[in-house]
Amino acid sequence: MITFRGGIHPPEFKELAEEKPIEVMPCPKQVVIPLSQHTGAPAKPVVAVGDEVKAGTLIAEPVGMISAAVHSSIAGKVKGIEPWVHPVLPVPTKAVIIEAAETDELDPAIKPRTQAQIEKLSPEEIREIVRDAGIVGLGGAAFPTSVKITPPKDAAIDTLIINGAECEPFLTADDRLMREKPEGIINGARILAKVLGLERAFIAIEHNKPEAIRIVSEAASKVWPAAEVLTVRTKYPQGAEKQLISAILGREVPAGGLPFMVGVVVQNAGTAFAVYESVAKRKPLYERVVTVTGPGIAEPKNLLVRIGTLAADVISHCGGLTPSASKFISGGPMMGIAQASLEVPIIKGTSGLLFLDGSKRLFKISEEVNCLRCGHCVGICPMKLVPAEIARMAEYEKLEDAERWGIADCMECGSCAFVCPSGRRLVQWIKYGKMLIFAERSRKKERK
Ligand code: SF4
Ligand code: SF4
């Protein structure tokens, strides 16, 4: 079966939510929409306190090349534009706070295009639609999609991969979307292929999602047979772009490089769906599917949630926390970020809210001891790095050595720490090394 070199097989724990159909969460009374929810510059507000907005109204515009527009996710009144706790960034960042109106109304600009209108759109017009809709990669990286589908002119793109791997344990949002909205995803793939000048696309799904494979394959044969569903082996981190490209095409993205350098564009399945909605319905990205799961939540669910909804409101909608809940992670257990507040908002890149209680552990918690030189971490590193050495260099602040050994290529997937019998905090040391390197570079820049 199609796969990449290295990787691990953590317990999946998908059974908690995989059979829960997507449920629409009612509008909250208030949303907090950060201006920075994407890779690149924060968006600039175009509304002021007191302004009235509808769901889908533009509230902040992109700044510069790499940025993304932000829209209101509910109808209501802007109550404030102020710093708020953020699920990814370590400090509070500016957010637009909107108080809900009595009735939720859509912005009047949101109305469907006919099939004839859709077919007439040029690649440039589609890029503009995607940019104006504020679409970013929904797999977690939140890179602006309009930028990703505008590769450099000399990049010979020959393959589009729609990423339905969803390899993080516990998460099931993409699985449900593929099972419930396959036509939208396939039409999104067709639109993306048109923009890239391609005639076909691959849709890659891990083999632990047999229903999604069956449903998407059936839909593809009716909607756009040029979309070929590929079953990839269930293995973490199969959904990482470079690993998916290596598995499907046998092409290696160079160290520090990007997929377009080997002729490939990868888009998450949820992103393809958002692209379809932006083109077919003129709908900006103001809601997304989020898996709310883990032994610490009373009723695990897959929820369609308005961007800016606070985790606390989502928790109430899911029956509250269990008495034993002890840890809250935004995202999956491998690459997600532990949270210190239940007031964090759902942002465009939020694929899941995970509540743990000490059961269903992925890692054996053990005292950190000296490296045994067993080499397990080297054998499984999907980036072909030597995690034991890089982490040691970072620990002893031998930063030049760490850079030479490729610390920047580490995607912090956590696979090395997962297999380490010595309980070495490999990812923490690597993060620490990266932070020191970044600080050193900033100091040098300031001195210039
Ligand atoms: S070194 Fe980085 S990329 Fe390699 S397994 Fe560890 S966390 Fe993943
Ligand atoms: S897996 Fe752990 S003990 Fe083994 S070589 Fe890597 S760091 Fe050392």
Give the strand pairing for 93-100 and 30-34.
antiparallel
Residues of the chain with pLDDT under 50: none
Give the strand pairing for 58-61 and 44-45.
antiparallel
DSSP 331: S
Residue 10 Cα to ligand 1 middle (Å): 15
Q: Which residues of 133-163 are buried (b: 16+ CB within 10 A; e: fewer)?
A: bbbbbbbbebbbbbbbbbbeeebebebbbbb
Provide the pLDDT for residue 388. Answer: 97
Q: Where are the domains of the chain?
A: 110-281, 376-447
Residues 6+ apart with CB under 8 A from 405: 385, 386, 389, 390, 393
Q: Contact, 345 vs 309, CB < 8 A?
A: yes
- The whole-angstrom separation of Cα 11 and Cα 306 is 30
Q: Is the CB of 379 under 6 A from ligand 2?
A: no
Q: Is the CB of 364 under 6 A from ligand 2?
A: no
Q: Which atom of ligand 2 is nearest to the CA of 374?
A: 4
Provide the pLDDT for residue 444. Answer: 78
Architecture of domain 110-281: 3-Layer(aba) Sandwich (3.40)
Provide the pLDDT for residue 347. Answer: 97
Nearest to 28 by CA among 98, 93, 80, 95: 98
Q: Which ligand is nearest to the CA of 369?
A: 2
CA-nearest residue for atom 7, ligand 2, is 388
Q: Is the CB of 376 under 6 A from ligand 2?
A: yes
Provide the pLDDT for residue 223. Answer: 96
State the pTM of this model.
0.92
Residue to substitute in 378, 427, 432, 434 for testing ligand 1 pocket (most ligand atoms within 8 angstroms of CB): 427
Residue to substitute in 9, 383, 403, 409 for testing ligand 1 pocket (most ligand atoms within 8 angstroms of CB): 383
Residue to substitute in 5, 409, 412 for testing ligand 1 pocket (most ligand atoms within 8 angstroms of CB): 412
Provide the pLDDT for residue 384. Answer: 93
Q: Is the CB of 415 under 6 A from ligand 2?
A: no
Question: 338 by DSSP, 3-state: which?
Answer: strand
Q: Is the CB of 421 under 6 A from ligand 2?
A: yes
Provide the pLDDT for residue 364. Answer: 64
Q: Is the CB of 288 under 6 A from ligand 2?
A: no
